[in-house]
Amino acid sequence: MATILCQGVLFQNIKAIIFDKDGTLANSENYLRSLGHQRARFIDAQIPGVQEPLIMAFGITNQRLNPSGLLAVGTRFENLIAAAAYIAETGENWGQALEIAQSAFERAEQPNSLKATQTPLLPGIKPLLQRLRDSGLALAILSGDTTANVVDFVGFNELQGYFSVVQGIDAPPGKPSPQPLFRTCNELGVSPSQVLVIGDSIGDIQMSQGGGTAGCIGVTWGWTGTPQLQGASALAHHINDIELKLST
Domain 2-28+119-247 class? alpha beta
Give residue-wise pLDDT tens across range 125-180: 999 999 999 999 999 999 999 999 999 999 999 999 999 999 999 988 999 999 99
pLDDT given at position 114: 81
pTM of structure: 0.91
Boundaries of every domain in the chain: 2-28+119-247, 29-116
Asked if 224 contacts 64 with a C-beta cutoff of 8 angstroms, the reply is: yes
DSSP 122: P
19 near 140, Cβ under 8 Å? yes
The secondary structure of residue 23, as a DSSP letter, is T
Residue stretches of the chain with pLDDT short of 70:
111-113, 246-248
For position 62, what pLDDT does the model report? 85
The strands making up 2-6's β-sheet, listed across from edge to edge, are 9-14, 2-6, 242-247
Closest among 229, 235, 205 to 7, alpha carbons compared: 235
Please list the residues that pair with 218 across neighbouring strands: 199, 235
pLDDT of residue 40: 97
| Contact assessment for residue 61 and residue 71, using Cβ atoms and an 8 Å cutoff | no
Give the distance, in angstroms, between the CA of residue 30 and the centroid of all CA atoms in the same chain: 15
Phi, psi of 218 (to 5 degrees): -90, 130
Confidence (pLDDT) at 111: 64
CB 17 within 8 A of CB 217: no
Q: What is the pLDDT of residue 138?
A: 98
Nearest C-alpha neighbor of 119 from the set 169, 65, 173: 65
DSSP type of residue 120: P
